[in-house]
Amino acid sequence: MNQIPDRFDHATAAGQITEAWDKARCGHAEVNPDRKPFTIVIPPPNVTGALHLGHGLNNTLQDIVIRTRRMQGYEALWMPGTDHAGIATQAVVERRLKEQENLSRHDIGREGLVERIWQWKDQYEKRILGQLKRMGCSCDWERTRFTLDDRCATAVRATFYDLFSKKLIYRGKRLVNWDTFLQTAVSNDEVENVTKKGHFWHVYYPVLDPKPGEPERVEIATTRPETMLGDTAVAVHPDPAAALDKIEAELRQKRSEASQKDQADIDSELETLAQRRESMLPQLIQLRDMALDGRKLMLPLVNREIPLIADVWAKPEVGSGCVKITPAHDPNDYEVGLRAELPMINILEPDGTLNRDGGQYEGMTIPAARKAVVADLENLDLLGDIEDRDIELPHSDRSKTPIEPFLANQWFVAMDELAQSAMDAVSSDKVEIFPERYRKGYLDWLGEKRDWPVSRQLWWGHRIPIWSRTGLAESEAQQMVQQLESLADDTGSISHRVDSTEDGTHHVFVCLRNEDDPREAKLESIGFTRDPDVLDTWFSSALWPHSTLGWPNETKELEYFYPTSTLITSRDIITLWVARMVLMGLNNVGDIPFRQVFIHPKILDGNGETMSKSKGNGVDPIDVIDKFGPDALRFGLARLATDTQDVRMPVQYECPHCDKLIDQTKKNRSLPRIDCPACEKPFSTQWAETEADKSLPRGLVVSERFETARNFVNKLWNAARFSLMNMDGYQPQSVDVSTLPLEDRWLLSRLATVTKQVTEGVEHYRYAEVTRTLYDFAWDEFCSFYVEIAKPRLAEEQQRPIVQSMMAHGLDTLLRLLHPTMPFVTEAIWEGLAGAAPQRGVPEPVAAANFAMIAPWPESNQSDYNESIEQQFAEFQEVIGAIRKIRASQNIAPRETVPVAIRCSPEAQSRLQPMKAYFAGLAGADVIELGPDAKAFETDAPLALTSIEIEVHVDLEKFIDVDAELSRLEKLLSQLVKQITGKQQKLGNENFVSRAPAEVVDRERESLGDLQRQHESVQGDIERLRTKSKAS
């Protein structure tokens, strides 16, 4: 017996294969003028946690491209690395610190915390890289980078310095989204809105010295009453009548276009508006006049005089028509504040408690202050109605706590020119985005040209290289500048700017280009302090394509591998990351970072939710690899990657005790341990934290959706096993293709076609199509037909050598085409094939490469493509199918051979003749007659293949089951009747006949004729069978 196991043992093989690749440095790329470069930089995974299936998909798709290109002879570099993910990582480590040791970051200090995060980073970086390696990612591991390593730090400093010197970086007070838990600003992109139940409080502010006829107080309403402490105005619309007119006109317009049902609703809105006009408009006009007259209000509780102002932000159609203005704590009010030049009073400490400007509420938390303010207003009889209301509240994505709009000093990157350059790169197609529909989002986002706030009040990240002295008098500032100028040398590595403020003081900011500049100490000795903040993590990620290649040094790698070839990423970071890489690449290197961007779908769980750590529904690719193997993981993911749809993947826990699969639900997905409903034994999950839970055996999280791929790996393995088992006596030989029999030429033709489809498919990122093409070819053509036909041929001494050559060649080509998707099993088989047929290939055998991974990509040999041979073979396949159908309907056992007669034209006869011998193996059929004169049998089961004008007859003498046969024929008849009726109707339609192209009409007529003849014949068969069964 043979030594090849009938399963691919991926658990043992994968490690050995990886080791062999590493040893041969197959994934390593060097500057090589003899080859064209092909470069991909990995979207660096966050070191926040381990990878899930979304990363699995992303990296599989990259590896498929890079492996293909490597085989195509490019110097293929896949640059690996990880991202420090500033806020996300710090948040995770801080939360653990709190949970496990009840310490805050202030307890252990900046250095202490950063050290902890480095430990975390080391741990997760190792895990992540391990995951990538087990997936088979062919990165150049020798080049692995980290966004916070020295090389990236140098690039960050150089970039920051450059932008600072160009005056593209400035400091501004801006309303930022403040995370009171992490005590940092978070970007808009890190904020999610959560709808919660809240209240709408109506409050009265007294008017100062009302004139006769004027109201004594104005009513405002707010969902956040405590912010009144920071109010600096109340606004009313400057032209309430016009505003109402405009709204009414819009409603009438809408009504004229609305459906009947919606009209009623709009009518009631119009009614309300009319009432409002009557009841409130006079007062709003009066208030507006008071505002223009410069009247003031008394802000209760703090007793501050605030102006009544006119501003369009006040909406006359809602509430009281008046709105309180808190510029320091509301984005809209902030805009009003800028317009009206209002003071901006910040009432919050960074930790979310009230500061001195909160008056008697100083020190309270926001909820406490809210309660107190409401109570005090009520005591003063200044509180009106309280409405219940659903309120959309921004929450920090990272800490899950409510965001407070907060006025703070931040560093900004001016985006105007930079954004424009990145827009131009895409509009001019220098950077192509696939699928194309994502271009719009990219261009729209950049088109807003919003300045980029880059400072983060964190400790984990690239510290901002700025030293500052603030609050200087003009003379002091001038003196400082002189001192700075004396520090300048000719390297252009120190730069400064002076900002003057409203209060007449001056700030001096100094930026140093290089790390460990001795002038740091000098600066500090003259009173400068370094900015404590760090940079937004996207600042360093934006440099990734060039920083990893050595920029700002003019390295040979940068010269050779940049711009990179393609970027493969997920859609949620097109703006945050892709856009910023483009503009930074253009600014720093003067060239785009990549030529193409491919955006792939997201993997969702069974509920259609994205996988994420915080939800607990992430699947570790290692679990899937353990159960199904790395090739199945990759193939399974790639075949789901179409360009339209996100991928929904229901997942299950696998009980380690009884193998029972338990659906993952919203309830159980974040549990640290689960009791198996079948065997009732407990097992742990990836969330296990306690020692008790961790000591339980772990249940894998898997998905049945990888079974198809696992089975395919097995199929390929066994096709190879069969081939290798039949390679005895193989001798490499030249093959004269023109003398080969049909089945061999068919295989060559199919190989040429499949090679072409796969090559083009990979080049256009059509992964699902590529995997389907390969799956169908390998399974339905190579295995089901070529190998089956090869079985009898291998037994014939004359044919055996040619079949061996062809099988080796076919398998070899298939392995190479499949390698980028399924690297391990193909590499394992490649090694086996090297033992049996080290030199192989048709027509000329050549020595195979040492590894499939570095074997040359197959060329589609167009001279092998032969349409008439493919048609001829398809005809044969159809006849086989017909015989199988008849057999199945008669329940004829597979081991029985049935006599078959095939009636067809002389041409078809000569086409089928060469395949006659193979009907036995493929359909258990003995073809006793073939040609125009072939006759039906006495006890006959016929099937007409009208499209190719062939009639298949099976002799049922020994097998006849009259009822079964009658029911088969009757079913066939009813199908035919249905089709004939349809066609007759179509052809009876004068419009169709006269207006459709003649070609289409002819085709319909022809096929109607076929169907009618078939109908007649089936009817005859039924008659005969009935008569016969009566007679017997």
Enumerate residues 605-624 that contact RNA by CB under 7 A: 606, 608-610
Beta pairing partners, 296: 307
Tell me the closest approach of the beta carbon of residue 414 to RNA, in angstroms. 17
Tell me the closest approach of the beta carbon of residue 804 to RNA, in angstroms. 14
Spell out, one character per residue from 433 to 452, where the chain touches RNA: x when CB under 7 A holds, - when not. Answer: ----x--xx---x-------
- Lookup: tokens for 17: 């294969």
Which of 11, 488 has the CB closer to RNA? 11
Beta pairing partners, 170: 412
Which of 75, 404 has the CB closer to RNA? 404
Spell out, one character per residue from 930 to 969, where the chain touches RNA: x when CB under 7 A holds, - when not. Answer: -----------------x----------------------
Tell me the closest approach of the beta carbon of residue 155 to RNA, in angstroms. 26
Which of 962, 964 has the CB closer to RNA? 964
The number of residues making up the chain comes to 1032
Residue with tokens 């001016």: 414
Q: Which residues of 435-463 are buried (b: 16+ CB within 10 A; e: fewer)?
A: eeebbeebbebbeeeebbbbbbbbbbbbb
Q: How many residues bind RNA (CB under 7 A)?
A: 77
Tell me the closest approach of the beta carbon of residue 711 to RNA, in angstroms. 3
DSSP string, 977-1008: HHHHHHHHHHHH-HHHHHHS-HHHHHHHHHHH
Residue among 223, 505, 596, 642 that touches RNA (CB under 7 A): 642
170 binds RNA (CB under 7 A): no
Report, in angstroms and rounded to the nearest whole number, the Rg of the chain calculated over CA atoms.
38
The dihedral built from the CA positions of residue 742, 744, 745 and 747, taken in this order, carries a sign that is positive
Tell me the closest approach of the beta carbon of residue 381 to RNA, in angstroms. 36
719 binds RNA (CB under 7 A): yes
Which of 492, 982 has the CB closer to RNA? 982
Tell me the closest approach of the beta carbon of residue 314 to RNA, in angstroms. 18
**Site residues for RNA, window 515-544 (CB under 7 A)?**
none
105 binds RNA (CB under 7 A): no
Residue among 197, 356, 895, 1030 that touches RNA (CB under 7 A): 895
Burial of 400 (0-12, 13-18, 19+ CB in 10 A): middle
**Site residues for RNA, window 291-310 (CB under 7 A)?**
none
Which of 85, 369 has the CB closer to RNA? 85
Q: Is the bond leading into 563 cis (omega within 30 degrees of zero)?
A: yes
Tell me the closest approach of the beta carbon of residue 781 to RNA, in angstroms. 11
The Cα 88–Cα 48 span in angstroms is 6
The Cα 769–Cα 638 span in angstroms is 9
Residue among 242, 274, 847, 888 that touches RNA (CB under 7 A): 888
Which of 83, 190 has the CB closer to RNA? 190
User: Which phi-psi region, left, alpha or beta, contains residue 109 (left: φ > 0; alpha: ψ -120 to 50)?
Assistant: left
Query: What is the signed CA dihedral for 583, 589, 591, 597, rounded to 10 degrees?
Result: -60
Tell me the closest approach of the beta carbon of residue 632 to RNA, in angstroms. 8
User: DSSP character for 229?
Assistant: G
The Cα 940–Cα 957 span in angstroms is 8
- Among residues 482, 489, 487, the alpha carbon closest in space to that of 520 is found at 487
Q: Is the bond leading into 80 cis (omega within 30 degrees of zero)?
A: no
Tell me the closest approach of the beta carbon of residue 560 to RNA, in angstroms. 35
Spell out, one character per residue from 63 to 102, where the chain touches RNA: x when CB under 7 A holds, - when not. Answer: ----------------------------------------
The Cα 981–Cα 847 span in angstroms is 61
Residue among 489, 995, 1030, 1031 that touches RNA (CB under 7 A): 995
Q: What are the phi and psi torsion angles at 854 (to 5°)?
A: -115, 10
Which of 711, 910 has the CB closer to RNA? 711
- Lookup: tokens for 280: 């409130």
Which of 53, 139 has the CB closer to RNA? 53
715 binds RNA (CB under 7 A): yes
List the alpha helices (DSSP H) in 777-799.
788-794
**Site residues for RNA, window 376-395 (CB under 7 A)?**
392
Which of 211, 895 has the CB closer to RNA? 895
**Site residues for RNA, window 749-788 (CB under 7 A)?**
768-769, 772, 779, 783-784, 787-788
255 binds RNA (CB under 7 A): no
Tell me the closest approach of the beta carbon of residue 715 to RNA, in angstroms. 5
Tell me the closest approach of the beta carbon of residue 85 to RNA, in angstroms. 17
Tell me the closest approach of the beta carbon of residue 593 to RNA, in angstroms. 21
**Site residues for RNA, window 550-579 (CB under 7 A)?**
571-572, 575
Question: Which of these ranges, 11-19, 39-47, 215-223, 880-888, lies near RNA under the rule CB under 7 A?
Answer: 880-888
874 binds RNA (CB under 7 A): no
- Other beta carbons within 10 angstroms of residue 375's beta carbon come to 11
CB 750 within 8 A of CB 869: no
**Site residues for RNA, window 644-703 (CB under 7 A)?**
644-650
Tell me the closest approach of the beta carbon of residue 925 to RNA, in angstroms. 12
Residue among 6, 111, 489, 503 that touches RNA (CB under 7 A): 6
- Among residues 957, 897, 890, 888, the alpha carbon closest in space to that of 927 is found at 897
- The secondary structure of 708-742, three-state, reads HHHHHHHHHHHHHHHHHHCCCCCCCCCCCHHHCCH
Which of 97, 892 has the CB closer to RNA? 892
The dihedral built from the CA positions of residue 99, 104, 109 and 113, taken in this order, carries a sign that is positive
Tell me the closest approach of the beta carbon of residue 571 to RNA, in angstroms. 6
Beta pairing partners, 307: 296
- Helix or strand run (H / E) with residue 930: strand 925-931
Tell me the closest approach of the beta carbon of residue 1026 to RNA, in angstroms. 22
Residue among 12, 104, 119, 188 that touches RNA (CB under 7 A): 188
Question: Which of these ranges, 33-41, 363-371, 540-548, 984-992, lies near RNA under the rule CB under 7 A?
Answer: 984-992
Residue among 151, 315, 430, 884 that touches RNA (CB under 7 A): 884
**Site residues for RNA, window 997-1016 (CB under 7 A)?**
997, 1000, 1003, 1007
- Lookup: tokens for 992: 């169709």
- Other beta carbons within 10 angstroms of residue 427's beta carbon come to 12
Which of 368, 783 has the CB closer to RNA? 783
Which of 126, 1005 has the CB closer to RNA? 1005
CB 64 within 8 A of CB 767: yes
CB 329 within 8 A of CB 344: no
- Lookup: tokens for 757: 């489809």
CB 89 within 8 A of CB 605: no
Tell me the closest approach of the beta carbon of residue 718 to RNA, in angstroms. 3
Q: What are the phi and psi torsion angles at 891 (to 5°)?
A: 55, 40
